Amino acid sequence: MTIEIPQAIRGTQDIFEEAESFAFVVATFERLRRLYRFRRVEMPVFEKTPVFSRSLGETTDVVSKEMYSFEDRGGESLTLRPEFTAGIARAYLTNGWKQYAPVRLATHGPLFRYERPQKGRYRQFHQIDAEIIGAAEPQADVELLAFADQLLKELGIADGVTLQLNTLGDADSRDAWRAALVEYFEAHRAELSEDSQDRLQRNPLRILDSKDPRDKVFVGDAPRIDDYLSGEAQDFFGAVTDGLDAAGVAWTRAASLVRGLDYYRHTAFEFVTDRLGAQGTVLGGGRYDGLIEALGGPPTPAVGWAAGIERLAMLVGERDTGAVADAIVVAEDDAAIREATAAIGRLRRAGISAEMIASGSPRKRFDKAVKIGAGAIVAFALREGEVARRIRAEDETTARIEQALAD
């Protein structure tokens, strides 16, 4: 009887060769979030379905087509998180985090969306996420964008990446712009793509970033947010751009850049590159002052961003896997295994990465260590009834190893 080997679920991945790049992205993010004084949070992988359906909107593609929702044994509808922000907003409300406001939060982990897998996009994927909740000042937007900009630079992938920036105005500005967009696109309804015809009433801002050639013909002449901005909204955007200039963060205006959900206000941004083909966004976010209110809480200002770890790792490229240890400890015969085991423990406690060779032909163990190519070899062998030690390394490394073994 032949047992069929189970295959991985489509849209998932077993991360092996890319794991070091993946870990480098996370480690750099963790280091910088401490530098910028963001508190680490861990969020549940699943939430009650209304957390996402109420915040993202029943008519969005994420809610209507992409969420992994299921009924638990108690009959309650639960959903694997498709993004972080809604869950963090729920936690802010239910855990009384308002007492810490403005609170700066950061997290990372897996997310789940049922969508067509493609380069850098999976059904189980991973993101890093940073949010500031309870800060209405434009300086919060500047802080987050400076954090993102420094992250990309320290990952070594900033070349060829551009920060595209836009404003969606305050609530009144956005409502006036939305009405103008509906009127404009309604006059061209028959010539729009099917998706944009569907979006026309429920989500017209999304037409502006449509990739369909039928829509692009009309986007260029569509009403611009600048014509509907209130004085307050203009001042807010001006403060953000001035702050970015002061912080040394380069940006370019992208008047068609939008966030389609109604709770977004003011700043919207994406860091984009042409190194990932059509999937050019590596990090994106914006100000979502209406989200917590949409979840039943009080009006609360907030701004945040997220980035796909897979995409960032693709841009980072291959990293040193650490496959070659600093030192290899060789037990040249079985009688020396005890001493070799004690030695490798001392080396590791001293911060020297090490592995041990203590199997196979005793005559070939040292030669095997030489072929591996470690920076140092520490060999133990039985000589005249006693276990002797020898070190093969550069003088400086030898001294460091001898110090570790002496401690």
- Give the annotated binding-site residues for L-histidine: 83-85, 113, 127, 131, 259, 263-264
Binding-site residues: 83-85, 113, 127, 131, 259, 263-264
Residue 121 burial by Cβ neighbours in a 10 Å radius (0-12, 13-18, 19+): middle
Which ranges of 162-230 would DSSP assign to H, the alpha helix?
171-186, 194-202, 213-219
- What is the C-alpha end-to-end distance of the chain, expressed in Å? 57
Kindly state the tokens that stand for 41: 């949070």
Which ranges of 16-137 would DSSP assign to H, the alpha helix?
19-35, 49-56, 61, 85-94
What value, to the nearest 5°, has the Cα angle with vertex 394 and ends 391 and 399? 65
- Beta-bridge mates of residue 74: none
- Beta-bridge mates of residue 337: none
Dihedral of CA atoms 346, 351, 357, 362 in degrees, nearest 10, equals -50
DSSP state of 7: P
- Of the candidates 17, 52, 60, the residue with the CA atom closest to the CA atom of residue 195: 60
User: Rounded CA gap, 313 and 18, in Å?
Assistant: 7
347 touches 354 (CB < 8 A): yes
User: Rounded CA gap, 139 and 244, in Å?
Assistant: 9
Amino acid at 378: V
303 touches 131 (CB < 8 A): yes
Site of tokens 């969020």: 43
Give the burial string for 91-104 (b: 16+ CB within 10 Å, else e).
Answer: bbeeeebbeeebbb
